Amino acid sequence: MQSTCDSKQNADHVAIIMDGNGRWARAQNLPRSAGHRAGIDALRRIVRAAPGHGIRTLTVFAFSADNWRRPANEVAILMQLFGEFLDAETEDLVRDGVRLSIIGRRDRLSPALVAEIERSEQATQFGDALHLRVAVDYSARAAIADAARALGPNVSEENLTATLTGEDGDVDLLIRTAGERRLSDFLLWECAYAEFVFTPRLWPDFTEADLAGALADFGARNRTFGAIPAEAA
């Protein structure tokens, strides 16, 4: 987090809640699975575009802890698509210098999927163009509680921040698609000072131009972090 006011700074850490796959499929008179596949295509576009816009860390919300409440067949399709994404994209991520990390619980995922996650993380570990963090079976409240328990008597705001944000730091810009205007238990601690952009664009239709527009919006804002803007002082 910057300590001074700077409306022209880059968004080093961008987070995206990728919403609207189901609505996109319904509008196209397609099954929901088609919407999720189109959402993967959108993610692929944005991952490839992100480094060119100065983004160093991209954290995306793929599957929340609450999503287990969805119909079992849809959950199975989502997990299958996630595995397919890892299998198909790992080589390209390595080529493009993208380091992949999966955040969230793994104990409720299948052993085969966990093995695929570990393989992809290991293969991409030296990527330095972009850190792609994919949240799967993720809950921010659970992450905060786990960090507090792990720190025990050493728990403090500073130690929690270091544990939860690590080298990636706080989120600068959070984007949520499909017109929704809530965090939905995503990166609650890390978004304490984030700027928010809510767009009606459904995630499968989200493009590099939409990303550039959100970043331009971010760049025009005056982030004071509780201080007085220089012109007012």
Q: From CA 157, how far away is CA 152, in angstroms rounded?
A: 13
Q: Give the total number of structural domains in the chain.
A: 1
pLDDT at 223: 84
Contact 200, 178 (CB under 8 A): yes
Residue 229 has a pLDDT of 64
Q: Order the strands of the 130-138 sheet from edge to edge.
A: 98-103, 130-138, 57-64, 13-17, 173-176, 195-198
208 token code pair: 């590099």
Look up the CATH number of the domain holding residue 175: 3.40.1180.10
* DSSP code for 34: H
Under DSSP, the state recorded for 203 is G
| Distance, CA of 16 to CA of 197 (rounded, Å) | 10
In whole angstroms, give the CA distance from residue 166 to residue 157.
13
Q: What band does 213 get if pLDDT is binned at 50, 70 and 90? A: very high
What does the alpha-carbon distance between residue 15 and residue 193 come to, in Å, rounded to a whole number?
A: 13
**107-166: pLDDT as tens digits:** 999 999 999 999 999 999 999 999 999 999 999 999 999 999 999 999 999 999 999 999
When pLDDT is averaged across residues 57-80 and rounded to a whole number, the result is 97
Q: What pLDDT is recorded for position 8?
A: 55
Q: Quick check: is 199 in a domain? A: yes
Give 225's pLDDT tier (boundaries 50, 70, 90). confident
Identity at 233, one-letter amino acid code? A
Domain for residue 231, yes or no? no
In a domain, 60, yes or no: yes
Computed over every residue of the chain, the mean pLDDT equals 94
Does some domain include residue 4? Answer: no
Q: What percent of the chain has pLDDT over 70?
A: 94
* Active-site residue set: 19, 67
Global pTM value: 0.92
Question: Is the residue at 7 inside a domain?
Answer: no
Expressed as residue numbers, the domain containing 169 is 13-219
Alpha-carbon distances of 92 from 21, 143, 231, rounded to whole Å: 24, 30, 46
pLDDT tens, 2-51? 433 444 578 999 999 999 999 999 999 999 999 999 999 999 999 999 99
Least confident among 2-16, 41-55, 82-96, 179-193? 2-16
Please say whether the dihedral angle defined by the alpha carbons of residues 103, 154, 145 and 197, taken in this order, is positive or negative: negative
